[in-house]
């Protein structure tokens, strides 16, 4: 009996720790951590769920399920009139991004400090690829 209580307590502690970890990942602004966590929790191909359509038929075809979800989301979201949108042309300066300057030394330093063991950024270019390609394309061609 004591063993059973101990294992129940350990299971509760592990579940609470996992929920706390997932909460910290959700609140974190770093998307790499989230993508890495998702990849480690998937243990095989992702399967779609079975969904009932409007007629009550159960569907498990990926395309049909996607259409059902799209139809349900289309009912929730509304199209808003564009008349209430602010005019951003007077607020934004179109020349604001052209004044940004990067020196080749700064870019080289950033590439040098990339950690090869980290997961790729959202553009899916790994640090290993960036470091390997850098000597092939000297930075002076970019500036």
Q: Write the pLDDT tens digit of every residue in 67-125.
A: 888 888 777 777 777 787 777 666 655 555 666 777 778 888 888 888 888 888 777 77
- Asked whether residue 20 falls in the same domain as residue 33, the answer is yes
Instruction: Determine, yes or no, domain membership for 87.
Output: no
Instruction: Determine, yes or no, domain membership for 88.
Output: no
Instruction: Determine, yes or no, domain membership for 90.
Output: no
- Asked whether residue 37 falls in the same domain as residue 53, the answer is no
- Asked whether residue 37 falls in the same domain as residue 15, the answer is yes
Rounded mean pLDDT, 15-21: 87
Per-residue confidence at 4, pLDDT binned at 50, 70, 90? confident
Q: Which domain holds residue 40?
A: 1-44
Domain count, the chain: 3
Rounded mean pLDDT, 50-72: 84
- Asked whether residue 107 falls in the same domain as residue 124, the answer is yes
Task: Please give the Cα distance from 141 to 68 (Å, whole number).
Answer: 50
- Asked whether residue 51 falls in the same domain as residue 35, the answer is no
Q: What is the pLDDT of residue 26?
A: 76
Query: Exposed, middle or buried: residue 114 (CB in 10 Å: 0-12, 13-18, 19+)?
Result: middle
Q: What is the pLDDT of residue 143?
A: 45
């Amino acid at each position: 009996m004591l063993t059973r209580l101990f294992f129940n307590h350990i299971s509760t502690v592990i579940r609470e720790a996992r929920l706390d970890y997932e909460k910290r990942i959700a609140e974190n602004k770093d998307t790499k951590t989230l993508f890495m966590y998702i990849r480690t929790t998937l243990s095989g191909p992702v399967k779609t769920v079975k969904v009932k359509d409007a007629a009550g038929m159960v569907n498990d075809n990926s395309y049909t399920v996607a259409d059902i979800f799209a139809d349900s989301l289309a009912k929730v979201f509304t199209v808003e009139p564009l008349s209430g949108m602010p005019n951003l042309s007077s607020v934004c300066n179109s020349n604001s991004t052209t004044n940004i300057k990067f020196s080749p030394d700064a870019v080289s330093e950033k590439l040098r400090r990339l950690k090869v063991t980290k997961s790729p950024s959202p553009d899916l270019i790994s640090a290993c690829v960036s470091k390997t390609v850098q000597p092939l394309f000297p930075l002076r061609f970019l500036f």
